[in-house]
Amino acid sequence: MNEILNKKGFISDMDGVIYHGNRILDGVADFVKWLQDNDKEFVFLTNSSERTPHELSMKLARMGLDVDADHFYTSAMATAEFLSTQKPNCTAYVIGEAALTKALYDHKIYMNDVNPDYVVVGETRTYSFEKLEKAINLVRAGAKLIGTNPDITGPTEKGIMPATGALIAPIEIATGKKAYFVGKPNPLMLRHGLKKINCHSEEIAFIGDRMDTDIIAGIESNVDTVLVLSGVTSLEDIDLFPYRPKYIFKGIWELLK
Is 224 annotated as catalytic? no
Closest among 139, 100, 91 to 123, alpha carbons compared: 100
The Cα–Cα gap between 28 and 150 comes to 27
> What is the maximum span of the chain, computed from C-alpha positions, in angstroms?
57
Single out the catalytic residue among 13, 117, 209, 224. 13
Identity of the amino acid at 251: G
Q: Which of 15, 117, 151, 214 is catalytic?
A: 15
Q: What is the distance between the alpha carbons of residues 187 and 148, in angstroms, rounded to a whole number? A: 13
Annotated catalytic residue 212: no
Half-sphere exposure of 196 (CA within 13 A, CB side): 21
For the chain, the straight-line distance linking the first and the last C-alpha, in angstroms and rounded, comes to 9
Residues annotated as catalytic (active site), given as ranges: 13, 15
